[in-house]
C-alpha cells in the first residue's frame, strides 16, 4: 500500500477518526487511564519507526507500575500530576518533558486533583511491559 501524507485534525485533545482505546487488559493494575494512537499504526504509516500516542490519566488515576527495555519520550499537554521513575517521584505539569530510559520502573499519576494528559512516543517494534504489583 502506498504511503499517503495527511493531516489528522485535532479537536481539543481528541483527534478525528482516532478511537479512544482501552489502556490495558487487566484493570486491577491501573485506574482511570485511556489512550489514543495518533500516528504510527494507521494505514499507510508503515514508514514511521515510532508510534505517537496520547494518554489521559483521570484525577485520582494511575498507569500501570511497570518496566520494559524500550525508552519513552513523554510531553505533558494537560493537567498536573506526578511520574515515578525508579524510586523517585516528581511533579509534572504542561510542557514538561519526561524521558523514561530502558529498564526504568515508572508510573504516571493524576494525583493533583485533575486529569493528566500527555503525548508518549515509543518505538514501533518494542518489548512488552512487565507489570509490578
Q: What is the mean pLDDT of the chain?
A: 93
Active-site residue numbers? 120
Answer whether 48's CB lies under 8 Å from 63's CB: no
What per-residue confidence (pLDDT) applies to 44?
A: 82
In the numeric block, the cell 487511564 is attached to 33
CATH class of 18-125: mainly beta
Give the whole-angstrom CA distance, residue 33 versus residue 37: 14
Model confidence pTM above 0.85 = yes
What per-residue confidence (pLDDT) applies to 108?
A: 98
What per-residue confidence (pLDDT) applies to 1?
A: 53
Low-confidence ranges of the chain (pLDDT < 50): none
Burial of 32 per CB tally in 10 Å (0-12, 13-18, 19+) = middle
Amino acid at each position: 500500500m502506498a504511503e499517503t501524507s495527511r493531516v489528522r485534525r485535532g479537536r481539543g485533545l481528541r483527534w478525528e477518526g482516532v478511537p479512544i482505546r482501552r489502556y490495558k487488559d487487566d484493570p486491577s493494575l491501573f485506574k482511570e487511564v485511556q489512550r489514543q494512537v495518533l500516528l504510527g499504526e494507521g494505514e499507510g504509516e508503515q514508514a514511521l519507526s515510532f508510534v505517537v500516542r496520547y494518554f489521559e490519566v483521570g484525577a485520582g488515576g494511575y498507569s500501570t507500575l511497570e518496566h520494559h527495555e524500550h525508552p519513552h519520550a513523554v510531553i505533558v499537554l494537560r493537567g498536573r500530576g506526578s511520574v515515578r521513575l525508579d524510586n523517585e517521584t516528581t511533579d509534572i505539569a504542561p510542557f514538561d518533558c519526561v524521558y523514561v530510559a530502558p529498564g526504568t520502573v515508572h508510573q504516571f499519576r493524576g494525583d493533583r486533583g485533575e486529569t493528566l494528559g500527555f503525548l508518549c512516543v515509543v518505538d514501533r517494534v518494542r518489548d512488552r511491559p512487565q507489570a509490578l504489583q
